[in-house]
Chains A and B, each alone.
Chain A
Amino acid sequence: MWLGLVPFLIMVLLFQLIPVLSMLTGSLKPASGAGISFGFYARILQSAYYMQAIKNSLLISAASSAIGIVVGLACAYAITRFPARTRDRLLMFSNMTSNFSGVPLAFAYIVLLGSNGVFTLLFKQWGWSVFGGFDLYSWSGLVLVYVYFQVPLALLLLYPAFYAIRDQWREAASLLGASRWQFWTSVGLPVLSPAVFGTMGILFANAMGAYATAYALVGGNYNLLAVRIGSLVAGDVVNQPQLGNALAVILALSTLLAVFLNHKMTQRARRLDAAFVAGPRPVRKRRRPPRPLNAAAAVAGKEEL
């Protein structure tokens, strides 16, 4: 019986545990000799260049996740207003387009807004100078492209949370004289908050780890953590693979932390839900709860590979 587990354990050991361990030890090895040293981490902390890469990655991830959350919330609310059939179709559509990520996505945006992009040339011809300052290969361009793959993911993760808000609460609030605005700020958003923060974690990790889109769009011209790591260990001229290990550990820590946040928030949401179920049962039937979209969620869960 144990025999069935042996190949699995060997594969996991060889291609998951040993590489992670190797990366950790590599990042803690001194430049010469034996022992443990935090020399590479110290060098990263002292290097303005690598600190800028980390800062850029954090900022772009935070900005694209925040925008993704806001757009996702609005769209998730809108999508729950449709009948179940239409809603499922809309979700399917949004998931379909999320297959369009990584290199093809970067390319599509270059066609649209690159230096010879269709819109760039059209705007120039029409004299719309407002967009003249826009540069796809800069901070704002990267955020724009990242948001594209964040929105469908945010939508998919957020819309089930809206079904936790019961219609009766809205009616009770309005009977007690609350305006719509008051209802959303004091009842709606607090109930949604675990889902919002949890989704934020996933989106943030997604953006931090995004390599394909950034690599295809800006290459080495914009200082990002993931792209920097790539060029350190597998670039044309591999000069400091050790430094790459330490940077990779930092990146992994940030995404693990973000995913951990999601885990905590899911637990909290579940507790909240359990508390409501344990309380007095709602008299009226809830709206039809969303059908689980497991396969789709799994794909969208990792937008960037």
Chain B
Amino acid sequence: MDAPIKRTGAAPRALMLLLMIYLLLPLMATCIYAFARDWQTTVLPERWTLEWFGGMFKDLRFMESLWNSLYLCLIAVAFSLLVMLPAVFVITVYMPRLESLMKGLVVLPYAVPGVVAAVGLIRAYSSGPLNIAGTAYILLGAYFVIVLPYMYQGIRNSLLTVSAGPLLAAAELLGAGRMRAFASVVLPNIWPGVLVSALLSFSVLFGEFALTNMLVGGQIQTIQVYLYHRMGESGHLASAIAITYFVFILLLSALLMKLGQKVNGGLKR
């Protein structure tokens, strides 16, 4: 490290400790609640149990909502990749002048809250030629828009860091067709970075609630919507679901971080 090593003072340490306790408190409470048989007027529960987790996995509706979440997010991410890879590639490599326009389109969902997006989607597609309100199709369209910024940034950065333009020119010079050059030279090179943004998009979609609940809440239950409906019934069961969800997201982001480091580390060498 090139910075002069200074001892961290007591005040910053205390502040950070407080922050960590503050951020952990809701998580810990949910976790303890999920393992407690009953938890009333003591600091910690007196009896522990695993029955809430057992009940969760025996609950068919839970398994169904988990499955719904998984395959909807997977399809949305795969579809987004299929559409975004060629689009970002064409823009970045062949039409850099259109980049600012594309960027404007792509960051818009960032500034528009999910509730607002849902209002527009419901009005546009509850009647008329494309009546898809309440179906998985409208949800997949909405998911496509949500992950736009993440996908665009990820793919564009990967293309720039591997200098896709010159790479492609070299491949074409050696006799590869444009499609072949893209598929067998550019794609394998940008793959790790693209995987990171795909995973990131997946975890964002997995935690989505506003759009899902407003667009298809009555028809399709994802894990978040299911958790919402279970909250009022059994607190312990809901805790178990919340903790399972959080652990899953945690594992996913740990994987994301590992991959991200690998991608960055690979570039430095």
Instruction: For B148, list chain A residues within 8 Å (CB).
Output: 12, 16
List 22 contacting pairs A-B, 8 Å CB cutoff, sorted by A.
Answer: A7-B86, A22-B123, A77-B12, A81-B12, A93-B20, A103-B209, A107-B239, A108-B26, A112-B29, A118-B33, A118-B39, A122-B41, A122-B43, A209-B115, A215-B210, A229-B116, A233-B123, A248-B120, A256-B112, A259-B111, A295-B200, A305-B204
Query: Is A121 part of the binding interface, using a Cβ–Cβ cutoff of 8 Å?
Result: yes
Inter-subunit contact B141/A15 (CB<8 Å): yes
Of A209, A230, A255, A295, most B-chain CB atoms within 10 Å? A295
Given contacts A19-B119, A23-B123, 13 further A-B contacts (CB under 8 A): A5-B86, A5-B90, A5-B91, A99-B249, A108-B30, A112-B25, A121-B41, A211-B115, A215-B210, A233-B214, A244-B119, A252-B112, A288-B2
Q: Which B residues between 10 and 29 are near A, CB-CB below 8 angstroms? A: 11-13, 15-16, 19-20, 22-27, 29
Binds B, one of A31-39, A173-181, A296-304: A296-304
Complex: A98 Cα to B89 Cα, angstroms: 32
Query: Is A191 part of the binding interface, using a Cβ–Cβ cutoff of 8 Å?
Result: no
Known contacts: A19-B124, A234-B118, A305-B114. The answer to whether A121 contacts B40 by CB under 8 A is: yes
Query: Is B52 part of the binding interface, using a Cβ–Cβ cutoff of 8 Å?
Result: no
Complex: A94 Cα to B23 Cα, angstroms: 7
Residue tally, chain B, CB below 8 Å to A: 95
User: Which residue of B is nearest A206, CB measured?
Assistant: B113
Instruction: For A248, list chain B residues within 8 Å (CB).
Output: 115-116, 119-120
Instruction: For B40, list chain A residues within 8 Å (CB).
Output: 121
Inter-subunit contact B227/A107 (CB<8 Å): yes
Instruction: For B200, list chain A residues within 8 Å (CB).
Output: 295, 298-299
Known contacts: A78-B16, A212-B210. The answer to whether A298 contacts B150 by CB under 8 A is: yes
Query: Is B160 part of the binding interface, using a Cβ–Cβ cutoff of 8 Å?
Result: no
Inter-subunit contact A304/B33 (CB<8 Å): no
Instruction: For B83, list chain A residues within 8 Å (CB).
Output: 7-8, 11
User: Which residue of A is nearest B134, CB measured?
Assistant: A234
Known contacts: A211-B113, A252-B116, A302-B204. The answer to whether A112 contacts B124 by CB under 8 A is: no
Q: How far does the Cβ of B194 sit from chain A's closest Cβ, in whole Å?
A: 13
Instruction: For B12, list chain A residues within 8 Å (CB).
Output: 77-79, 81-82
Q: How far does the Cβ of B234 sit from chain A's closest Cβ, in whole Å?
A: 12
Select B204's contact among A22, A74, A299, beta carbons within 8 Å. Answer: A299
Q: Is the interface of B mostly helix, strand, loop or mixed?
A: helix
Inter-subunit contact A101/B231 (CB<8 Å): no
Instruction: For B11, list chain A residues within 8 Å (CB).
Output: 78
Interface string of A242-257 (1 = CB under 8 A from B): 0011001101100110
Select A108's contact among B15, B27, B94, beta carbons within 8 Å. Answer: B27
Known contacts: A82-B16, A94-B19, A234-B215. The answer to whether A302 contacts B257 by CB under 8 A is: no
Binds A, one of B54-62, B65-73, B102-110: B102-110
Complex: A103 Cα to B225 Cα, angstroms: 9
Select B119's contact among A205, A209, A245, beta carbons within 8 Å. Answer: A245
Query: Is A270 part of the binding interface, using a Cβ–Cβ cutoff of 8 Å?
Result: no
Instruction: For B112, list chain A residues within 8 Å (CB).
Output: 20, 209, 252, 255-256
Q: What 4 pairs across the A-B complex have the smallest Cβ distances? A: A209-B113, A19-B120, A4-B86, A8-B87
Known contacts: A103-B224, A104-B245, A209-B113. The answer to whether A233 contacts B122 by CB under 8 A is: yes
Inter-subunit contact A230/B86 (CB<8 Å): no
Residue tally, chain A, CB below 8 Å to B: 93
Instruction: For A26, list chain B residues within 8 Å (CB).
Output: 123
User: Which residue of A is nearest B6, CB measured?
Assistant: A81
Known contacts: A4-B89, A7-B87, A234-B118. The answer to whether A104 contacts B246 by CB under 8 A is: yes
Complex: A233 Cα to B215 Cα, angstroms: 10
Instruction: For B253, list chain A residues within 8 Å (CB).
Output: 95-96, 99, 299
Known contacts: A79-B12, A81-B8, A94-B23. The answer to whether A305 contacts B217 by CB under 8 A is: no
Inter-subunit contact B144/A11 (CB<8 Å): yes
Query: Is A14 part of the binding interface, using a Cβ–Cβ cutoff of 8 Å?
Result: yes
Inter-subunit contact A97/B94 (CB<8 Å): no
Inter-subunit contact A107/B41 (CB<8 Å): no
Select B122's contact among A71, A74, A112, A234, beta carbons within 8 Å. Answer: A234
Known contacts: A11-B83, A26-B123. The answer to whether A82 contacts B118 by CB under 8 A is: no
